[in-house]
Amino acid sequence: MPEKSAARVHDCDILELDRHHSRRKGDLSVVSGGHTVPFDVRRVYYLYDVPGGESRGGHAHRRLQQLIIAAAGSFTVTLDDGHLKRRFTLNRPYHALLVRPGIWRTIDDFSSGAVCLVLASDHYDEAEYLRRYSDFLSFRKEIEK
C-alpha cells in the first residue's frame, strides 16, 4: 500500500474560490495562501496563446504543489498517479484544481483565448521536475515503498 505521503489522484480536487459579485461591475475571486489553499504561494505563472490541439505539461514535480485555474477560457487537465488517471475540465475562473506533489499532469483541449494560471508552492527549479514518464514511475515506486 502507498504511504500516506504519496499523494494519489483522489487527493487532488477542485477547490471553489471565494467569489465577490457586484451586479453591475463583475466578479472577483480570491486565493489566499495558507487560508483558501493549503500552501503558501511563492510563484505565479500563466500559459496563454496556446495553439489549438497543443498539449502542455507532460511532467510531474517531486515536491511542488500547484493550483491550476482557467483564468479565461477552458482546458482539460489529466492527472495520473501511476495507478489511476483523473480528468478535470476547467472552465470557471473561481475553480482551482489542487495538484499534489508526485502527480503526472498533461493539459490539453485549450479553447481559443484560454489563460491557464498556475500558483505554485515554490520557486522554479528544473532539478525538481520529473520529465520522463519512466522516471516518474520509478519515483512513484520509491515514495510508495
Task: List, by residue number, the catalytic residues.
Answer: 59
Q: Which is nearer to ligand TYD, 112 or 124 (CB)?
A: 124
Query: Which residue from 30, 32, 112, 124 is in contact with ligand TYD, where contact means CB under 6 A?
Result: 124
13 secondary structure, DSSP code: -
The distance from CA 55 to its chain's CA centroid, rounded to whole angstroms, is: 14
Q: How far is CA 122 from CA 32, 64, 141, 143, in A?
A: 15, 6, 24, 20
Counting contacts by CB under 6 A, is residue 47 touching ligand TYD? yes
If one counts every other C-beta atom within 10 angstroms of the C-beta of residue 117, the result is 19
Residue nearest to ligand TYD (CB): 124
Window of 10-18, 42-50, 72-80, 133-141 that interacts with ligand TYD by CB under 6 A: 42-50
Counting contacts by CB under 6 A, is residue 67 touching ligand TYD? no
